[in-house]
Amino acid sequence: MAEVPSLLTLCLDALKDHILYGDDDDDDGVLQGIYELPAELFDCLLRQLPALALHKLQSQMPSEVQSDFDIDYACAGSGRKRTRHGKFDAAWKVLFYLRWPELTEHLPYDPLAGKNVMECESINDWRQKYWEMHVQNCFDAAAERAMLPSFDGRIGEIIVPDALIKAIGFQKKCSVYVYSRLHDHCQGFGAYTRFLRLPNVFCNVETCHLLTNSRLQGLLVRRICSKMHVDGLCKILYQNRETITSLQFVNCNISLDFFDAICDALAMEDSPIHGVKHFAVRSSKLIESNPVSLPPKLVSFLSSGYLVSLLSWHSIVYNTLQS
């Protein structure tokens, strides 16, 4: 015989559904009532919320109310106290662990710096980590469709798999299925994306539009092998030139023109300084008439800025051009 849910469980489920599917413009004070719940009940509600509901609740909560739920706690095994961590961040951490348990032991806090998120001295933002990984999952799923020879549509219109939509807690209860497309997820959560891995099929103007709200700090691109790919990638880099600190190329065909275009896209206006600290080329083919030396513009790029704390070249095949 199925267990009868308690009154508390039913109430929490009703509040969860209201947060997920309620009309934000006609709330009737329900959200304000949620914010005024006693701490124990508020904690119970947070533990019941899926990612999308938690996101909505946190986004709409007034800052002065949210600060009331912040807590301080010492980091185990350390005499130092961590930066204030709210109950929201703790809830995001649980959701991240539940969805990607295989990543929690190896995920760096900063993919560019390589600092482990479990280090007590790190300042964590699990909400940002959660949505960044979710957006990456959406791009990975969309790539499977976009890379098919028969695909000729718009990337943003690619339908996101139901499994990814259900993972954030959204069910098909509404007449308008607002999280069905890649565009919807980029628009809703792209602002949390700091690092992305993209195949060449996403190196285009449309991806720039999809990532309008993003301020990318790191980008790993694969299989850049044509001028069309380079032109699209340069538009993405130009859009994020003020924030990019890491750039990695894997399985690419690289030429002198390629390097010139990349350097031009990352150049800062009225300043020779750029912010790239990590520049890597791996398992790629370098097509160059003089493979002994690097292209002059790349040499200038690598010697300007803060630069380059980590420059790496691995498994490069030199394909010398014959005159």
DSSP 62-110: -HHHHGGGEE--BPTT-SSBPSPEEHHHHHHHHHHHHH-GGGTTT-EEE
pLDDT in tens, the chain (323 residues): 567 789 999 999 999 999 998 876 666 688 888 988 998 999 999 999 999 999 999 998 877 766 665 544 334 334 333 333 478 999 999 999 999 998 876 655 444 444 444 443 344 699 999 999 999 999 999 999 999 999 999 999 999 999 999 999 988 665 556 899 999 999 999 999 999 999 999 999 999 999 999 999 999 999 999 999 999 999 999 999 999 999 999 999 888 788 889 988 988 776 666 778 888 888 888 776 665 666 676 677 666 655 555 556 665 666 655 43
Strands 115-116 and 108-110: antiparallel
Q: What residues have CB less than 8 Å from 195, skipping those under 6 apart?
A: 111, 112, 132, 216, 217, 218, 219, 220, 246
- Give me the pLDDT at residue 246, please: 93
* pLDDT in the model for residue 195: 98
| pLDDT (0 to 100) of residue 75 | 41
- Count other C-beta atoms under 10 Å from residue 196's C-beta: 23
Rounded to the nearest 10 degrees, what angle do helices 126-146 and 51-60 cross at? 130
DSSP letter at 255 equals E
Of 229, 235, 247, 189, which is closest to residue 209 (Cα–Cα)?
Answer: 235
CA-to-CA distance for 34 and 25, rounded, in angstroms? Answer: 16
* Structure tokens belonging to residue 140: 């990975």
Q: Within 13 Å and on the Cβ side, how many CA atoms surround 96?
A: 23
Is 46 buried (19+), middle (13-18) or exposed (0-12) by CB count in 10 A?
A: buried
